[in-house]
Chains A and B, each alone.
Chain A
Amino acid sequence: QKEVEQDPGPLSVPEGAIVSLNCTYSNSAFQYFMWYRQYSRKGPELLMYTYSSGNKEDGRFTAQVDKSSKYISLFIRDSQPSDSATYLCVPKGFGNKLVFGAGTILRVKS
């Protein structure tokens, strides 16, 4: 079983839609949960991080973590064409190794 699993997509939505991106993980030792965004031909950039179960909001983005079911979500409100990218679910345990999922490709059409 892979440590992190994401639906690769692509997920295509119209501009203004609410987007839900999901991720499951297998290692209960993971403590921190990040979402990275990667545009085509660019390196990943940190979008959001959270430590505990529950929700964390930052502008149009909300990260949700459910440690009991090992399920992570990222919601994007009022999606924009500029949100078109690959979204990487990245949990982290103790120590300094990030574990990257393969990512979900999101396409927001204007």
Chain B
Amino acid sequence: DTAVSQTPKYLVTQMGNDKSIKCEQNLGHDTMYWYKQDSKKFLKIMFSYNNKELIINETVPNRFSPKSPDKAHLNLHINSLELGDSAVYFCASSHNDREYGYTFGSGTRLTVV
């Protein structure tokens, strides 16, 4: 029944590996986002999709690749993981790309060792 669900909740992996985080929303929203929360707790936007179209692509290493198979799903694939990628990754959604009321998932805590 969760509105925005992310899997997995925790991910521990070695440097150099490739991993994916999945996100699904059942709110009927058109826009989905990926945010990264670093150790200093700043939330920074990485990507935004509106109806499966990429509309925000911040300065993020191209090892990070989002994929939206439909407007209810936004996945994040990370290649060649580095220690600095360790963070909490949040997926969020909103009705449209002009709205301020985002619904966030509970986050995926990624630890690269």
Contacts and interface: CB of A to CB of B under 8 A. Distances in A.
Given A96-B31, A96-B55, A96-B56, A44 B100 contact: no
Contacts of B44: 100
Contacts of A92: 100
Contact of B106 (A34, A43, A88, A103): A43
A75 interface: no
Contacts of B84: none
B100 A43 contact: no
A42 B2 CA distance: 13
A80 B101 CA distance: 24
Interface in A85-110: 86, 88, 90, 92, 96-98, 100-103
A41 B44 CA distance: 17
A43 B45 CA distance: 14
A42 B88 CA distance: 10
Contacts of B34: none
Interface in B17-51: 31, 40-45, 48
Nearest to B98: A96
B110 interface: no
A61 interface: no
Given A8-B41, A96-B31, A103-B41, 13 more contacts: A34-B101, A41-B107, A42-B107, A43-B90, A43-B106, A44-B90, A46-B102, A86-B41, A90-B100, A96-B48, A96-B55, A96-B98, A98-B100
11 contacts: A42-B107, A43-B92, A45-B103, A86-B41, A90-B100, A92-B100, A97-B45, A98-B102, A101-B42, A102-B40, A103-B41
**Which 5 A-B pairs rank lowest in CB-CB distance, beginning with the nearest?**
A43-B104, A96-B97, A100-B43, A46-B101, A102-B41
